Amino acid sequence: MSSSPVNFHDLTREQLRALTVRWGFSPVHAARLWSYVYLERVDAWALMPELPARYRAKAEAELVFARLPVAVETHSADGFTRKYLLALADDRRIETVLMRYTGRVTACISSQAGCAMGCVFCATGQMGFVRHLTPGEIVAQALHVDRVLQGAAGGERLRNIVLMGMGEPLHNYDAVMHAIDILRDSSGLGIGAKRITLSTVGVVPGIIRLADEARPMHLAVSLHAAIQEERAALVPVAGKWPLAELMDACRYYIAKQERRIFYEWTLIEGKNDTLESAHAVGRLLRGQQAQVNLIPLNPTAGYGGAPTGREAAKKFQAVLAEYGLPSTVRQRRGIDIDAGCGQLAAAK
């Protein structure tokens, strides 16, 4: 009886080692296989001559390297953003985005197909939940972007990842953390803790768990409103995890991890961009080790609001500064190809 092969990219280095030993081989071969795949970026058995033939045959019978084929690729007119619609094995689709800022390339990766959280202004929320991604499907997105970069002039390597694509990463906690362990592995891709940012809508139990675990990364929390009723109107799960509980969890995270939190605030004209709103944020976050990232609303089919203009955004920032809160306004990238924050939605 043959069971279906395991996706290599679902395995941590330790799991590959354990599997190799269970097959009756030396862990040395597992280490070599790991470095072929994650250091040399080889994923064809024929290109791994240093693996002993017997081990290679066994590994080949048991493991597959599941790439995610590109269904559609789109480039923004300014050349800074590329969006990939990638096909999963069950023919579901997800989106991955490659973003270039000055001196930095970042992969924006999905954690789920669709999303169950239903934020009103988000295209992924508007499409609903399809399914969780496996660790291997999350890792494969990073590898895809890495291959694109290697193929580009100059042969760059992927060094920055944001879990800000489709889905709510803390709703798929175990698979996401497992994938992060693979991405961070110092004998592999080695993407450092400071170069991984996870963005959450505010899944309180997930934030507490993250605070208690030794898996450093940057944490971004999507706030959008500083008053419970206003937040619940934009972010329905605020009913389940109210603002007061969210703030307790965030303070706990900051204290436990000794690291600040980035709060994300989608700026919607006339809705949450007034000076009163800014003062409410100031009062809510005053004294916290926090930075506020303002994201002018990107258009989506299911929500009619308009983005806040530059001047109003600056005034909002000035109020935050009065409370000692640093802030940035996110550079708008890839809007023409629907690759901006909250615009990712994969038609099945």
Closest distance of CB 151 from ligand SF4, Å: 29
- # residues contacting ligand SF4 (CB under 6 A): 12
**Angle between helical axes of 13-22 and 53-62 (0-180°, round to 10):** 110
Options 88-96, 128-136, 236-244, 290-298: segment touching ligand SAH (CB under 6 A): 290-298
Residue among 95, 137, 168, 264 flagged as catalytic? 95
Residue among 108, 115, 119, 341 flagged as catalytic? 341
For 31-84, the DSSP string reads: HHHHHHHHTS----GGG-TTS-HHHHHHHHHHEE-----EEEEEE-TTSSEEEE
* Spatial separation of the C-alpha atoms in residues 158 and 10, rounded to whole Å: 19
- Told to check if 179 binds ligand SAH by CB under 6 A, we report no
Residue with Cβ nearer ligand SAH (135 or 188)? 135
Among positions 43, 137, 168, 273, the unique one binding ligand SF4 when judged by CB under 6 A: 168
Residue 95 known to be catalytic:
yes
Closest distance of CB 26 from ligand SF4, Å: 44
- Identify what 160 binds: ligand SAH, ligand SF4, none; CB under 5 to 8 Å per kind: none
Of residues 100-139, those binding ligand SF4 (CB under 6 A):
115, 117-119, 122, 124-125
Of residues 284-313, those binding ligand SF4 (CB under 6 A):
none
Residue 115 known to be catalytic:
no
* Spatial separation of the C-alpha atoms in residues 136 and 115, rounded to whole Å: 19
Of residues 203-242, those binding ligand SAH (CB under 6 A):
222
Asked whether 17 and 26 are in contact (CB, 8 A), the reply is no
- # residues contacting ligand SAH (CB under 6 A): 17
Residue with Cβ nearer ligand SF4 (135 or 167)? 167
What are the CA-CA distances from residue 56 to residues 29, 45, 64, 208, 257 (Å)? 9, 7, 12, 42, 42
- Told to check if 273 binds ligand SAH by CB under 6 A, we report no
For 145-166, the DSSP string reads: HHHHHHHSTT-----EEEE-SS
What are the CA-CA distances from residue 73 to residues 76, 81, 84, 94, 112 (Å)? 10, 11, 5, 12, 19
- Told to check if 341 binds ligand SAH by CB under 6 A, we report yes
Residue with Cβ nearer ligand SF4 (188 or 342)? 342
Residue 205's DSSP bridge partners are none
List the catalytic residues. Answer: 95, 341
